[in-house]
């Protein structure tokens, strides 16, 4: 019924109904699409929005989570408790520096490895496959392996002994100073494959003539990478930065399974802390309050995602 060209529908917000030139989609009457989006809407409202609404209510209670147990309304006391809770702030701070460090190292390794794989290397396919395998494996599957490796009598200490650094050997996971670096190492180990694949794909799109021209002008390989390739992969880097931020907020499996958030909350994240408060301490009201805080941060991350994606689209 309409002749609006297809490109007008590309993810634009719908115009007000009265404006004929901003029709967001050309087919059907005003309601014809509703049944199509109904299942998705019901699922998301029922299992995400309803629980969030419930959280808001539960966060005002002093309650142990059993439906028959008395729940006492305590207003904003849980929020006051949260802002005064050092473990809450520690978890937040962990999320921040965990994100900054894992993102930087992953980006560096993924980018470097991608450029090496574009350099006519032998056995390149084997290398690519191996670095990508961790991305596919469940963190829960690998957690026991890493517990073993970084154990006092594990392979990492054995390796240190072999190369003459035996004095550094220690029970890595039992020490508050070294447990977090191990959790970061495992996270980097798991996700570099994805970073690599994205940079590898981005580099395949580059115009080889530009690189050739730079070389003819006498630029070194390092110079070409830094001044031409890296800036041209900016869109990929931006997407990875935001994905990493959201992923950082979702961190649970690795710290929970490898260190249980310890020792002494040394690897506590918001996710593991919510679980701890709920399952170990049975403070459902307080767990709900922490979940609301996590939600606020995650939605803020999402807004960042949309704005940065918009900026990337505009160039």
Partner 1 sequence: MFDIHGRYSRITVQVLATLILLPYLLPLVFGIQGSLGGLGLGNYVKVWNTGIVPTVFLNSAIISVSTIAIVLAITMLAAFGFSKLRILGKEVWFWALLAALTVPEAVILTPLFVVASTFDLYDELPGVILPLAALQVPFTILIARNFFDGIPNEIMEAARVDGANYAQVFWSIVMPLTRPIAAAIIVLTLITSWNSYLLPMLMLTEQSKQVVTLLPSFFTSQYTNDQTGVLAAAVMTAVPEVLVYLAFQKYFERGLAAGALK
The distance of closest approach from Cβ of residue 66 to partner 1 in the complex, given in angstroms and rounded to an integer, is: 7
34 binds partner 1 per the rule CB under 8 A: yes
Q: How many CA atoms lie within 13 Å of 201's alpha carbon, on the beta-carbon side? A: 8
The distance of closest approach from Cβ of residue 166 to partner 1 in the complex, given in angstroms and rounded to an integer, is: 18
Exactly one of 101, 160, 174, 225 binds partner 1 (CB under 8 A); that residue is 225
246 binds partner 1 per the rule CB under 8 A: yes
The distance of closest approach from Cβ of residue 253 to partner 1 in the complex, given in angstroms and rounded to an integer, is: 5
Asked if the peptide bond before residue 263 counts as cis, ω within 30 degrees of 0, the response is: yes
Task: Tell which positions 64-93 bind partner 1, by CB under 8 A.
Answer: 65-67
Q: Which helix (H) or strand (E) holds 72?
A: strand 72-73
For residue 229, CA distances in Å to 2, 48, 86, 196, 211 come to: 44, 41, 44, 14, 8
Task: Tell which positions 161-200 bind partner 1, by CB under 8 A.
Answer: 189, 192-194, 197-198
131 binds partner 1 per the rule CB under 8 A: yes
148 binds partner 1 per the rule CB under 8 A: yes
The distance of closest approach from Cβ of residue 84 to partner 1 in the complex, given in angstroms and rounded to an integer, is: 21
- Tokens 């937040």: give the residue: 92
24 binds partner 1 per the rule CB under 8 A: yes
216 binds partner 1 per the rule CB under 8 A: no
User: What CA–CA distance (Å, rounded) separates 278 from 216?
Assistant: 63
Longest CA span, the chain = 78
Task: Tell which positions 281-300 bind partner 1, by CB under 8 A.
Answer: 284, 287-288, 291, 294-295, 298-299
Q: Which of 146, 67, 99 is nearest to 156 (CA)?
A: 146
102 binds partner 1 per the rule CB under 8 A: no
Exactly one of 79, 132, 174, 241 binds partner 1 (CB under 8 A); that residue is 132
Exactly one of 155, 162, 207, 280 binds partner 1 (CB under 8 A); that residue is 155
User: What CA–CA distance (Å, rounded) separates 241 from 308?
Assistant: 10
Tokens (6 digits) for 60: 């005002």
The distance of closest approach from Cβ of residue 266 to partner 1 in the complex, given in angstroms and rounded to an integer, is: 19
User: What CA–CA distance (Å, rounded) separates 180 from 187?
Assistant: 11
């Amino acid at each position: 019924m309409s002749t609006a060209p297809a490109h007008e529908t590309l993810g634009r917000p719908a115009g007000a109904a009265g404006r004929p030139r901003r029709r967001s989609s050309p087919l059907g009457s005003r309601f014809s699409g509703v049944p199509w989006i109904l299942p998705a809407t019901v699922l998301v409202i029922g299992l995400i929005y309803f629980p969030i609404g419930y959280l808001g209510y539960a966060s005002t209670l002093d309650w142990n989570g059993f439906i028959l147990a008395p729940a006492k309304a305590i207003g904003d006391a849980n929020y006051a408790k949260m802002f005064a809770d050092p473990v809450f702030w520690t978890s937040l701070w962990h999320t921040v520096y965990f994100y900054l460090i894992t993102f930087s190292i992953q980006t560096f390794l993924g980018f470097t490895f991608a450029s090496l794989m574009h350099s006519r290397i032998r056995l390149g396919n084997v290398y690519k496959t191996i670095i990508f395998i961790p991305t596919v494996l469940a963190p829960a599957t690998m957690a026991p392996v890493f517990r073993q490796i970084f154990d006092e009598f594990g392979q990492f200490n054995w390796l240190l002994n072999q190369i003459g650094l035996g004095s550094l050997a220690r029970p890595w996971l039992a020490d508050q100073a070294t447990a977090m670096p191990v959790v970061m190492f495992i996270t980097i180990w798991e996700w570099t494959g994805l970073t690599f694949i994205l940079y590898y794909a981005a580099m395949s799109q580059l115009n080889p003539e530009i690189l050739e021209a730079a070389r003819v002008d006498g630029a070194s390989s390092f110079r070409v990478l830094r001044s031409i390739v890296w800036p041209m992969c900016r869109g990929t880097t931006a997407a990875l930065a935001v994905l990493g931020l959201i992923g950082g907020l979702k961190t649970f499996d690795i710290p929970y399974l490898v260190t249980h958030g310890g020792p002494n909350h040394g690897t506590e994240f918001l996710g593991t802390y919510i679980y701890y408060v709920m399952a170990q301490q049975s403070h459902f009201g307080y767990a709900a309050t922490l979940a609301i805080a996590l939600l606020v941060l995650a939605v803020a991350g999402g807004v960042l995602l949309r704005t940065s994606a918009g900026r990337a689209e505009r160039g």
